[in-house]
């Protein structure tokens, strides 16, 4: 492999040039001596600051790949390489160690060119303590003390609801007493109000055995892991046993628990019928921000979701962002490892290998049953529908996140409107240039069309164009749309103006399909949509049904702004043509009346018809006596 280090500075003198050559030689020597082991590499700039941290299964192959032909590098990677002055590597014994070390170094060093993931350290967890008669409570600090942990939960309200539910089903103690066998035997504690209202069975006074209490804790753990169906079966069997033994009080307690548990299970949304455990991942990206969403599905039921926000994502592919979300989630989660992991994009062999190793370690740490995990990229059916639902949530949360940034003054309204458009319309790029068309006429006369242009979410009036339509007679919106598309993208304007990233037409299914067909006939591939005025429906070519955007969506507001501007421009041009035609056919045909006098009369009376009904005195007040006499005699011979 030929290594070439590309200098990024134009040297001002021979000393600097020689120094740079020496530096490049040192880098080349370091590259040639890299090991083929797994590990972490750090790129350093000329100020000694770490600007990028990465992990690799094979350090030699990965690091050398950055210093290949610069024509094979793009976007952020090209900029990153241009700033590398040195690098360091840390060899690890496994891919998992490399992944964990990379995550820790990124948090500590905050390198300029790494994707930044929002830290979950303030998110709450649910803990079941490691002590006799364990307690259950919410906390934001994780300690490796043998306790059982669930989380993190992105919404504290959701976690408190779960705690309330557990309290309604199980008589869990809420006190903080140290209930050791010695303290209980010494009668150090007395039962509290919870015992008297049947929310606790009084283990503090020895009224409940530790064995019975731990059996209840085991049921709670199964419930939190989503094992509701097995738990319902167990409670039903125990209730029936106590009833058969004529222990009706214990059977009644179990029935109350069973009823609460069934209500909880009914609230969970069933998303698949095969009762498997799954994690579903989807990422929505903007210009420099992204949001990853994880659906947690247990026994075919959606238990909840988690969001992971990222910034500094400019130029990163969805595959790279997906890998970052997967790594962060499985490094920090304390949840059960599922049977299947559903993804929108396939993993590389190296990524899958590292992730499998990490998940195996997690299973050992959490003492979970070892599973053969499947990574799937669904294309059709129920799983594909589930994936699309997850992706819609990611787009929605990214849009909300960008709105909050805008409110904090961190982003412009146009910026997140364009990003939202890209996501909602599934565009390949952010639509920096958008062109919108609207037609205007009066009962088929003076048929005109307008084209307005927005760049980076703002009007570019120098690129506005207006068209007087001539290829048809009468009222025909489809013929009007076909003519204006051909004239804009097939004539001299195609060479004069840049092609847009998105075309919008004012209208419904027919107008959109006509525009799409006209573009295809010209050999132009460009996304085109229609926006209908009545209920703000969005139409796409040959789609059977339109769809709506939320009323508060910045994407919808930008589309409405474009549509309204095109309408204003078309109507203004149509009125001008109509006025000119009215002047030419009536007032200016009167002998002695020129355009200035005609305009003066129209300004005073509003229309040629009103001029025809005016008295001689009114005409004289608006213009001179001679002109007034000529106009009056024309209409009253």
Say which residues have a Cβ less than 8 Å from residue 111's Cβ, sequence separation at least 6: 42, 43, 50, 51, 52, 53
Task: Find the mean pLDDT for residues 378-394.
Answer: 86
Q: What is the pLDDT of residue 19?
A: 53
Closest listed residue to residue 86, CA positions, set 40, 29, 27, 28: 27
Q: What is the pLDDT of residue 84?
A: 86
**DSSP output for 323-390:** HHHHHHHHHH--SPP-SEEE-SSPPPHHHHHHHHHHHHHHHHHTTPPP---EEE---SHHHHHHHHHH
Q: What is the DSSP letter of 10?
A: -
Q: What is the DSSP letter of 594?
A: -
Strand-strand pairing, 125-128 and 340-342: unpaired
Q: What is the pLDDT of residue 5?
A: 36
Decide if pLDDT at 389 tops 70. yes
**What are the beta bridge partners of residue 289?**
311
pTM of the complete model:
0.53
What is the tens place of the pLDDT at every residue in 579-620? 666 655 577 778 888 777 877 887 788 777 888 888 888 888
Task: Quickly count: other Cβ atoms within 10 Å of residue 608's Cβ.
Answer: 17
Q: What is the pLDDT of residue 407?
A: 67
Decide if pLDDT at 271 tops 70. no
Structural domains in the chain, CATH included, are 14-114 (3.40.1440.10), 125-270 (no CATH), 278-405 (3.30.420), 426-577 (3.30.420.340), 586-635 (1.10.150.20)
Decide if pLDDT at 4 tops 50. no
Give the largest Cα separation in the chain, rounded: 123
Using alpha carbons only, give the angle 40, 79, 119 rounded to the nearest 5 degrees: 50
Measure the CA–CA gap between 213 and 107, rounded to whole angstroms: 41
Q: What is the pLDDT of residue 3?
A: 38
Q: What is the pLDDT of residue 227?
A: 67
What is the tens place of the pLDDT at every residue in 296-310? 887 777 777 788 888
Decide if pLDDT at 9 tops 80. no
Say which residues have a Cβ less than 8 Å from residue 604's Cβ, sequence separation at least 6: 622
Residue whose structure tokens are 């300690």: 143
Report CA 558 to chain centroid distance, whole Å. Answer: 17
What is the tens place of the pLDDT at every residue in 147-200? 888 766 666 666 776 777 777 778 888 888 888 888 888 888 889 988 888 888
Q: What is the pLDDT of residue 365?
A: 73
Strand-strand pairing, 289-298 and 340-342: unpaired
Phi, psi of 428 (to 5 degrees): -75, -25
Tokens representing 66? 């950055």
What is the tens place of the pLDDT at every residue in 14-66? 454 555 565 667 777 788 888 888 889 999 888 888 999 998 888 888 888 88
Measure the CA–CA gap between 422 and 81, rounded to whole angstroms: 29
Q: Which has the higher per-residue pLDDT, 398 or 232?
A: 398
What is the tens place of the pLDDT at every residue in 95-111? 888 888 888 788 788 88
Measure the CA–CA gap between 321 and 304, rounded to whole angstroms: 22
């Amino acid at each position: 492999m030929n290594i070439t280090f590309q200098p990024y500075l134009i040297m001002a003198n021979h000393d600097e040039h020689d120094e740079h050559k020496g530096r490049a030689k040192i880098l080349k020597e370091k590259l040639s001596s890299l090991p083929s082991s797994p590990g972490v590499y750090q790129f350093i700039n000329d100020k000694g600051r770490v600007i990028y941290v990465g992990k690799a299964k094979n350090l030699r192959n990965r690091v050398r790949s950055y210093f290949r032909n610069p024509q094979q590098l793009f976007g952020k990677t090209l900029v990153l390489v241009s700033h590398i002055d040195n690098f360091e590597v840390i060899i690890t014994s496994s891919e998992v160690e490399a992944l964990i070390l990379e995550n820790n170094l990124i948090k500590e060093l905050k390198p300029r060119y790494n994707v930044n993931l929002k830290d979950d350290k303030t998110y709450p967890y649910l803990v079941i303590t490691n002590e006799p008669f364990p307690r259950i409570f919410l906390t934001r600090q994780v300690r490796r003390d043998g306790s059982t942990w669930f989380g993190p939960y992105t919404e504290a309200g959701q976690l408190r609801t779960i705690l309330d539910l557990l309290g309604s089903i199980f008589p869990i103690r809420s006190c903080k007493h140290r209930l050791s066998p010695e303290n209980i035997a010494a009668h150090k504690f007395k039962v509290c109000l919870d015992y008297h209202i049947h929310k606790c069975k009084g283990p503090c006074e020895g009224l409940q055995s530790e064995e019975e209490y731990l059996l209840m804790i085991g049921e709670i753990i199964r419930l939190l892991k989503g094992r509701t169906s097995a738990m319902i079966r167990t409670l039903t069997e125990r209730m029936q046993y106590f009833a058969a033994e004529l222990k009706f009080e214990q059977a009644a307690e179990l029935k109350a628990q069973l009823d609460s548990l069934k209500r909880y299970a009914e609230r969970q949304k069933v998303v698949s019928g095969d009762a498997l455990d799954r994690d579903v991942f989807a990422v929505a990206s903007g210009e420099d921000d992204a949001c990853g969403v994880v659906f947690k599905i247990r026994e075919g039921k959606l238990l909840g979701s988690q969001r992971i926000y990222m910034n500094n994502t400019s130029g990163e592919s969805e595959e790279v962002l997906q890998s970052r979300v997967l790594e962060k989630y499985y490094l920090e989660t304390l949840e059960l490892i599922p049977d299947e992991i559903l993804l929108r994009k396939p993993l590389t062999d190296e990524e899958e290998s590292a992730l499998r190793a990490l998940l195996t370690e997690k299973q050992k740490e959490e003492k979970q049953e070892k599973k053969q995990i499947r990574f799937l990229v669904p294309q059709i059916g129920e799983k594909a529908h589930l994936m699309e639902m997850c992706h819609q949530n990611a787009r929605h949360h990214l849009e909300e996140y960008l709105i909050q940034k805008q409110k904090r003054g961190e982003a412009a309204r146009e910026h997140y409107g364009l990003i939202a458009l890209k996501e909602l319309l599934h565009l390949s790029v952010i639509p920096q240039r958008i062109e919108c068309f609207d037609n205007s006429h009066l009962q088929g006369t003076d048929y005109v069309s307008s084209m307005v242009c927005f760049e980076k979410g703002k009007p570019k009036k120098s690129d506005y164009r207006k068209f007087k339509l001539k290829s048809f007679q009468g009222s025909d919106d489809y013929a009007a749309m076909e003519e204006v598309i051909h004239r804009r993208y097939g004539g001299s304007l195609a060479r004069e103006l840049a092609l847009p990233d998105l075309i919008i037409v004012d209208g419904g299914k027919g107008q959109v399909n006509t525009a799409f067909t006209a573009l295809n006939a010209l050999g132009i591939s460009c996304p085109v949509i229609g926006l209908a005025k009545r209920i703000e429906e969005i139409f796409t070519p040959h789609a059977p049904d339109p769809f709506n955007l939320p009323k508060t969506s910045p994407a919808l507001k930008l589309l409405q702004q474009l549509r309204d501007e095109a309408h204003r421009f078309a109507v203004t041009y149509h009125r001008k043509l109509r006025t000119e035609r009215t002047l030419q056919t009536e007032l200016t045909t009167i002998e002695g009346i020129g355009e200035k006098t005609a305009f003066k009369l129209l300004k005073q009376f509003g229309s040629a018809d009103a001029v025809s009904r005016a008295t001689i005195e009114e005409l004289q007040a608006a213009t001179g006596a001679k002109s007034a006499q000529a106009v009056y005699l024309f209409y009253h011979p």
